[in-house]
Amino acid sequence: MPEFKPPRPGEVSAALPQAPDAGLYFIGRIRSAYPTPADCPKNMLERTAQATIEVDPPFDAGLDGIEGFSHLIALYWLDRSRRDLVVQHPSHRPAPTGVFALRSPVRPNPIGLAVVEVLGREGNKIRIRTIDCADGTPLLDLKPYLASSDCVPDARRP
């Protein structure tokens, strides 16, 4: 387990349960140009970097049929993230904020989500663009991006 910096003023940590509620299967890894989480772009601001999703052999048959999709939703496990903070004070915010109002990787369940552009597929490898995770990040799932149901043009934020 990595060692983390102490919380900033105003941040709140929570005692995590002794045991998880569910089990997950990592179905592969994401290969990116970012060696560590600190090297990753914030909030998908870097949209030109390419990466590769590698799906492990037991699951690669699940890729059949993705060739027609221009974009996929990638869900991944931010395995090097702190998990106990429920209130954070990001440097870009004037005050501490609850974790569920942030896109921070620091959260009780460090699940990352990205809509990635598919550049091509070769066997169990999918070349993509627009990802913000460190090299070797475990892959949880892939889903097709459907503009008809995944796009919310009138969504708002504070």
Q: Most confidently modeled of 3-12, 32-41, 135-144?
A: 135-144
Question: Which of 26, 135, 31 shows the shortest CA–CA distance to 77?
Answer: 26
In this structure, the strands spanning 85-88 and 12-13 are: antiparallel
Region 11-17 average pLDDT: 88
Closest CA to 110 of 93, 91, 92, 133: 133
Whether the per-residue pLDDT at 23 is higher than 70: the answer is yes
DSSP code of 74?
A: E
Asked if residue 1 has pLDDT above 80, the reply is no
Residue 47 has pLDDT above 80, yes or no: no
According to DSSP, the β-strands at 71-77 and 97-98 are unpaired
Terminal alpha carbon distance of the chain: 35
Give the separation between CA 113 and CA 127, rounded to whole angstroms: 17
